Amino acid sequence: MSDRRRMIITGVSSGIGLAISAEALRLGWYVEGIGRNAPALLTAHPRGSFTTCDLSDRTALSGLRLAEDQSCELTVLVNNAGTLGPVKPGKNASWEEIDHCITLNTSSAMLLSAKFLAEISGEKQLYFTGSGAAEFAIEGWSAYCASKAAVHMYASVLAKEHPELRIHAFRPGKVNTPMQAEIRATTEEDFPGVAHFVEEYESGSLVLPETVATSLLHVIDRKDEIPVIFSTSNYTV
């Protein structure tokens, strides 16, 4: 077996996923993106590739196959694709809005992880992009908070079921991504805490996606024990 290392990432078109892809390529990984929109970073790089799949489409995801690569020393899956979902009082969220949020943030990550555990042999690690919103009730974010709480619990259960594997959900903090711009564009009526997010952005307090990526790649290489749910800010390089 070679020292070839392979990373499979969802949600790579921008933000955290794109930054993780760039850092992994810089460090010599082979990176495979999965999602709807292929970034030039992966399609133009000799160690990059992309599979088109709408992760919110259950039929498309069910038909997705993760190709085995026996030459890999390590294979890592990062479930990063996600959506903020409906930002409004929970009583005003529609079935379609809730279903899309839960499907993309939670169900797709669960199904893809099950495929990964069943279809990929050899040394492997499994990660989920979690959120502080999984642990704090945020007015206007009922679907998002619920979806990320489920992700944290799912990672915790899998870690118990597979104690021989590194399985984690990471909290990246408030990161300067398109999702943050989406949050700032909401109204105080739908999201009472919007002013705080605007202040964080204007003061330059948001975490850079590149900082999250560097921390995650550092965690992957660590040999010591790490909590199943961790904050990337605790593992800065």
Query: Can you give the pLDDT of all 237 residues of the chain as single tens digits?
Result: 457 999 999 999 999 999 999 999 999 999 999 999 999 999 999 999 999 999 999 999 989 988 777 788 999 999 999 999 999 999 999 999 999 999 999 999 999 999 999 999 899 999 999 999 999 999 999 999 999 999 999 999 999 999 999 999 999 999 999 999 999 999 999 999 999 999 999 999 999 999 999 999 999 999 999 999 999 999 988
Is residue 85 in some structural domain? yes
Domain that holds residue 128: 4-173+208-235
Segment (H or E) for 125: strand 124-129
Q: Is position 66 within any domain? A: yes
Assess if residue 180 is contained within a domain. Answer: no
Count: domains in the chain: 1
- Residue 6 bridge partners (DSSP): 30, 75
218: left (phi over 0), alpha (psi -120 to 50) or beta: alpha
Q: Whole-prediction pTM value?
A: 0.96
| Domain containing residue 70: CATH number | 3.40.50.720
Identify whether 184 is part of a domain. Answer: no
Residue 193 inside a domain? The answer is no
- Phi/psi for 205 (5° steps) reads -90, -10
39 occurs within a structural domain: yes
147: in domain: yes
